[in-house]
Structure 1
Amino acid sequence: MKAVVFAYHNVGVRCLKVLLARGVDIALVVTHEDNPQETIWFESVSALCRQHGIPSIAPTDPAAPELLAQVAALQPDFIFSFYYRHMLPVALLALAQHGAYNMHGSLLPKYRGRVPINWAVLHGETETGATLHEMAAKPDAGAIVAQTSVPILPDDTAYEVFGKVVVAAEQTLWNALPEMLKGNIPRLPNDLSQGSYFGGRKPEDGKIDWNRPAHEVYNLYRAVAPPYPGAWTIVKERTFIVGKAYLSAKLLENLPANLPRGLAVVDNRIVGVCGDGRALLINELLADGQTVTPEALKNILL
């Protein structure tokens, strides 16, 4: 079976490796040029293609007529999308004889759309996963082929959950492929009325509102903790990013009364006081890329 694959990021790399291991002929990989403004902490699809001698291109527009013609000439049995960042046009999807399938980082129909792992952590979910589904005109709306769940533990950051979802994506594709290659493709309902859709997130969305309850502030930290842009706050015109934090009732149960909301230093520890009177213990606070000590913060707060 021949496939054209649109891929990027760790999920793209791992799922391409699954296709190779299952004997799929990868005729072309369409990927992205790395953005110099973005922190590149993930594996390279382009490097994998070079290693295996797979033709790869990185067009700016997946709807370009020349790309449509190139894929049509290859006559693929399957088209796959693994963490490719653009929607694929319906005319392109129709070129795959046995269908076009996407790997999405949630348990559809929940968290359709962009950055689903970050949204799931932000909303305090205890479970997410990876879903292989048919591609359709609407994002993440096609029938479900297979999905694998993973836990979100109370202190997991989005980065840690992402690592679990990469493995779940690999397992989902590995288990589904044998029957797919035989033409036996499950089509389970993807009831959008039971799910949710979310857009992308920007660095400015990480601004901390210290008036919110501590568990909400903690979930924001977890959802955008490095290598994502981070949860941040401004004190005296300086921006501070929470690098590492922990929500612990025991460690912070004896907070002094009437502490102002926001950053504070208590017993030589940095804390973030929230709207419900509880606080985050901040084990790492960053400013201008450098670690801020409790003593230095205390001087800033004076």
Structure 2
Amino acid sequence: MDEPLVSIVIPTHNSEKTLLLCLESIKRQTYGNIEVIVVDNFSRDKTVEIGKKYGAKVYIRGPERSAQMNHGALKARGEFVYFIGSDFVLHPRVVEECVQLMKQGYDAIIILNISYPKPSLIAKVRFYERLSYYGSGVYEAARFVRKNLFIKVGGFDTRLYTNEDYDLHRRLIKLGAKITRTRRSFEIHIGEPKSVREFIVKSIYYGSNIKYYVKKNPNIAHITPVRPSFFKREYIAYLGRKWLPGLFLVPMFKILQAIVIFIGMLLALKIYPY
């Protein structure tokens, strides 16, 4: 019996520094029936060249990643669509585990996403922050989904270029989708900010779009800086053993990030008051 085709959709924009590692991790998947779709937002580097070299179907589309991912899904031939960032490195069995779960009757899968902790202190803080979210149900979003259900729910909201995955997740839940999470495999995010400047620029960019997201999703628990997952007994015990400064740095980072995002929102309101 043929295994179902999985379409991996990757939105890119000047992504040559990470795309190679991302595609290499897809190449190492234990599951064989995969097509790779790269939807590029007019890159000026070698992103498109790298995508074609690895046999990906490459399309040119803008203006933001929500529109790019929707275009990729429309071009996808797979029964299942898996949306990943160009700065993700995949565990070798992640697609295999997701397909097994889909065969059990699930409609969408949450995949544990952790940050690569090496490049900077910010990345290390993000690594331990993301570990706290596993199983929370609030700070997670399904990105491996049945294509027909993705189309039915309307795809990604193209007015969002941040938190678009959380928005999709909430609409899937409202539609009655059966959602679970991986237990043995994960994704590694290798694109965390490597400097304070990069962190500020990225946070302001996200903040500039947050007004619309909050208006659409009044329950904003997952974007507030004070998060119950930080205070779980087992998480505190783990952090105390592995990286004691994290007990202070993780919540402080989220507070600082919230402040910068708020500044980004205010700047956007000044430019686009409506």
Higher strand proportion (structure 1 or 2): 1
TM > 0.5 between the two? no
Give TM-score, length-normalised by structure 2: 0.33
Higher helix proportion (structure 1 or 2): 2
Q: Which structure is higher in RCO with an 8 Å CA cutoff and minimum separation 6?
A: 2
Give TM-score, length-normalised by structure 1: 0.31
